[in-house]
Structure formats: structure tokens, C-alpha cells
Amino acid sequence: MRTLISGGAGFIGSHLCERFLKDGHEVIAVDNFITGSLENLDLLRQNPKFSFIGHDISQPLQVSGPIDNVLHFASPASPVDYLNYPIQTLKVGSLGTHVTLGIAKEKNARYLLASTSEVYGDPLEHPQKEEYWGNVNPIGLRGVYDEAKRFAEAMTMGYCRYHGVNTHIIRIFNTYGERMRLDDGRVLPNFMGQALRGEPLTIYGDGSQTRSFCYVSDLVEGICRLLKTDFHEPVNLGNPAEITIKQFADEILKLSGRSNDIVYKPLPQDDPKVRKPDITRAKNLLGWEPKIDRDAGLRQTMEFFKKKLGKS
């Protein structure tokens, strides 16, 4: 099997490269390092079945030889990143999706799109089922990411229905683990970095908003299972164990052994108040649900960040 992964040098993309290599695939990673890191691929580059293409997937790409699977994971994925790169985010969600779907069509390959829980916006339904159409501000600051992913889903379904491409869509809820960037602006690396540096933890809003955190190996397992199916509509992948941001800050402090202060700042525009996946579809279709509990996953992730900060 030969698998192409756009965004392969990113947090989730690099874990996917590792998993597919472990499963015996030849893996081709594509990345332009806007948010990815060559360091994420250090161990993988020693594998003769791994190859890397430095390329902006929003631009046309020709890949020689057969391809069995195309996974489109290229995109800035945190508020800091997509606010810094709004046009690139829109282009990789639209043009990048078009390019990768074209490769899948040409090669008669299975295709999987990494979508996001952000397609639900600031949801009026809780927990969020795949049938929910969302509550998104298309011209808000977050709209560059939300609408790019919503367009990507529509394009993917278009290629499935019109061209007969065997497509799959996952909606990723908050995922964490090793290889996250400390500066990516998401709540988990923010809290862990601040805790380990002895800085106050920053909570935006009053801390009552909720998130649900899924460890990266659980997400990767769900992706691999979905890719083997012939199911084409979106599937939520995430951990339904919901927690408030204030509770999460307390957990991080306890885990770090610190007693840092907590400071509160205004909630950013259109920041979701609640986020919890309904994973009934994933359970029934894939026999999948998360296995790694939050305490175990957070301990492994904190050890990774300690090494990054030289705190080990």
C-alpha cells in the first residue's frame, strides 16, 4: 500500500505517517512547514519506505506511481495559526482539497478529509451530532477556518457523488499529545507551557466553557478504521469526556505540581461555549471509542513538553 499524507509534518499528520509506516505502507508526506516541523519527521526519515515532498498542497502536484490512499491533513488548525495565515487557511481548505481530491481521482485512491468540530461553530445543539448543520459566523475572525473546512466537506462530497471517488470525512474534536507546538495557542499547550514556566495560567472568559480532549493515538486508530470502510458522510472523532476550562486548568496545575495563579481575559469572538462530540456513529460504524483516559494522556504529553522546555 502507498499512502500520501498532506500536512505530514504536522502534529496529527506525523502521527499518521508513523502509524501507516508501522502498518507496512510506503508513506509520502507533503508539507510546506507553515505550521509543521521537520523535527516531527526525524525518526521517520530513517525508514526507507518514507519519503517527503516539500510543497504547498494548494498548488498543483504530480505524484508518480500508484497511490492507494490520500489523506488531506494540511491546514493551520489553531486560532493563533489561522488568524496569522487567514488566506493560506482558506486556500488549503479549498484549493488544497481540490488538488488532493484530484490526485485521489487520478490514482483511484481512497480519500480522507480532516475536517473539524469547528464546522459546528458556537453550537446550539449539545452534544454535537453529525446531522447538526452548525452555527457559524462566516465573516467572523474564525470564519477563515470554519468556512474553509465546510467548503472542503462540500467539495469532498461533490467528488464522491459526481466522480465516484471513495471519500471519507472525519470531524476532529480537540486532540492532544506529543508533537504539539507549545506556541500554537490552543488551551492545552498554553496551560502546560505556562504551568511549567511558572507563569499564571490564562483563561479566556469565565472558564465555564467546555472542551473534550482526545489523545492522538485514539484519533489515529479511528482514522485508520474509517479509511477501510465505504462510508462517505462525516464521522465525529473525539472523546466525549467533557470538562470546563477552569477544571482543566486545575488538572494541569495538579499534574505539574505547581500552584500558579490563574488570570482571566475576555473571551475571543465566536469562541465556542460548549464542545462535546456525539460519537454514536463512530461506535456503531467502526466499533471505535477512545481508550486513553485523560490523566494518562496528559501525563505523557506533559513529559514531552518538559523535555521541550528542558525541565526533565
Q: Would you say 194 and 256 are in contact if contact means Cβ atoms under 8 Å apart? A: no
Q: Could you tell me which residues are beta bridge partners of residue 128? A: 277
Residues in Cβ contact with 45 at an 8 Å cutoff, skipping those fewer than 6 apart: 52
Report residue 290 CA to chain centroid gap. Answer: 15
Whose grid coordinates read 469532498? 156
Q: Could you tell me which residues are beta bridge partners of residue 52? A: 29
Whose grid coordinates read 466537506? 153
Annotated catalytic residue: which of 85, 111, 120, 145?
Answer: 145
Q: Would you say 223 and 110 are in contact if contact means Cβ atoms under 8 Å apart? A: no
3-state DSSP call for residue 214? strand
Q: Is the dihedral of CA 6, 8, 11, 12 positive or negative?
A: positive
Tell me the backbone φ, ψ of residue 277, rounded to 5 degrees. Answer: -80, 140
Whose grid coordinates read 462517505? 232
- Known active-site residue 85: no
Please give the positions annotated as active site. Answer: 145
